[in-house]
Amino acid sequence: MSVPAVRGDLLTGAEVLREVSTDRSGWPATAPGGVVRPRSVAEVQGFLSWASRTGTAVVTRGAGSGLAAGAVGVAGAVVLDLSGFDRILEIDADEQLARVEPGVITAELDAAASAHSLMYAPDPGSVGISTIGGNIATNAGGLRGAKYGVTRDHVLALDVVLADGTLIRVGRDTIKGVAGYDLVGLFTGSEGTLGAIVGATLRLIPRPLRTSTAAAFFADIGSAAGAVTAITRSGARPAVLEILDGPTLSAIDALEGTAFRTRGEALLVIQTDGFGAAEELDVVATAIAPHVAHIELAADAAEAERLLFARRRALPALEAIGRPLIEDIAVPRRRLAEAIERIAAIGAEEGVRIFVFGHAGDGNLHPIIVTDRGATDDPAPAEALAAADRIFALALELGGTITAEHGVGRLKRAWAERELGPEVHLLQRRLKALFDPLGILNPGSSV
By beta-carbon proximity to ligand FAD, the closer residue of 131 and 229 is: 131
Does residue 274 touch ligand FAD according to CB under 6 A? Answer: no
**Closer to ligand FAD at the Cβ: 110 or 191?**
191
For ligand FAD, the closer of residues 44 and 292 by Cβ is 44
Q: Specify the residue, 246 or 407, whose C-beta has the smaller distance to ligand FAD.
A: 407
| Residue whose CB is less far from ligand FAD, 284 or 315 | 315
Residue 427: CB minimum distance to ligand FAD, A: 20
Footprint of ligand FAD on residues 304-363 (CB under 6 A)?
Answer: 315-316
Q: Which of the residues 158 through 217 are near ligand FAD (CB under 6 A)? A: 191-192, 196-197
With respect to ligand FAD, which residue has the nearer C-beta, 282 or 419?
419
Sheet holding 34-36, edge to edge: 34-36, 78-81, 58-61
Q: Which of 45, 43, 85, 41 is nearest to 61 (CA)?
A: 85
Closest CB 365 distance from ligand FAD, rounded Å: 12
CA–CA distance, 147 with 119 (Å, rounded to integer) = 13
What torsion do the CA atoms of 44, 46, 49, 50 make, to the nearest 10 degrees?
-110
Q: Which of 32, 38, 46, 66 contacts ligand FAD by CB under 6 A? A: 66
Q: How far is the CB of 445 from ligand FAD (least distance, A)?
A: 6
Residues 6+ apart with CB under 8 A from 254: 317, 320, 321
Task: Name which of 62 and 400 has its Cβ closer to ligand FAD.
Answer: 62
Which residues fall within 8 angstroms of residue 193, CB to CB, at 6 or more apart?
432, 436, 441, 442, 445, 446, 447
DSSP 8-state symbol, 258: -
Q: Which is nearer to ligand FAD, 19 or 389 (CB)?
A: 19
The CA-based dihedral angle spanning residues 56, 57, 60, 61, taken in that order and rounded to the nearest 10 degrees: -110
CB 61 within 8 A of CB 83: yes
What residues numbered 122-141 form the site for ligand FAD, per CB under 6 A?
Answer: 124-126, 130-131, 133-135, 137-138, 140-141
Nearest to 229 by CA among 188, 284, 191: 284
Site size with ligand FAD, rule: CB under 6 A: 38
Task: Return the CA Rg of the chain.
Answer: 22
- Residues numbered 25 to 64 that lie near ligand FAD (CB under 6 A) are 59-64
| 342 burial type by CB count under 10 A (0-12 exposed, 13-18 middle, 19+ buried) | middle
Report the SS3 class of residue 244: strand
Is residue 357 within 8 A of residue 242, CB to CB? The reply is yes
Rounded least distance, CB 398 to ligand FAD, Å: 20
SS3 call for 275: coil
DSSP per-residue letters across 363-374? TEEEEEEEE---
Q: Would strands 240-245 and 353-359 be described as parallel, antiparallel, or unpaired?
A: antiparallel
The values of phi and psi at residue 188, to 5°, are -75, 115
For residues 58 and 285, which CB has a smaller minimum distance to ligand FAD in the complex? Answer: 58
- Which of the 8 DSSP states describes residue 376? T
Comparing CB distances to ligand FAD, the nearer of 381 and 444 is 444
Shortest Cβ distance from residue 366 to ligand FAD (Å)? 8
Residue 131 or 223 with smaller CB distance to ligand FAD: 131
Residue 137 beta carbon to ligand FAD: minimum distance, rounded to whole angstroms: 3
Q: Is 30 helix (H, G, I), strand (E, B) or coil?
A: coil
Q: Compute the least distance from the CB of residue 293 to ligand FAD, in Å.
A: 26
Min separation Cβ 319 and ligand FAD, Å = 8
Question: H or E stretch including 213?
Answer: strand 211-218
**CA–CA separation, 400 and 48 (whole Å):** 37
Helix 277-288 to helix 221-234 angle (10° resolution) is 130
By beta-carbon proximity to ligand FAD, the closer residue of 160 and 285 is 160
For the window 393-422, what string marks contact with ligand FAD as x by the rule CB under 6 A? ------------xx----------------
For residue 432, state whether it binds ligand FAD (rule: CB under 6 A). no
Compute the least distance from the CB of residue 83 to ligand FAD, in Å.
Answer: 7
Residue showing the smallest CB distance to ligand FAD in the complex: 134
Report, in Å, the least distance between residue 395 CB and ligand FAD: 16
> Per CB under 6 A, does 65 bind ligand FAD?
yes
Amino acid at 167: L
Least distance CB 62 / ligand FAD (angstroms): 3
What residue ranges bind ligand FAD (CB under 6 A)? 23-24, 59-67, 70-71, 82, 102, 124-126, 130-131, 133-135, 137-138, 140-142, 191-192, 196-197, 315-316, 405-406, 442, 445
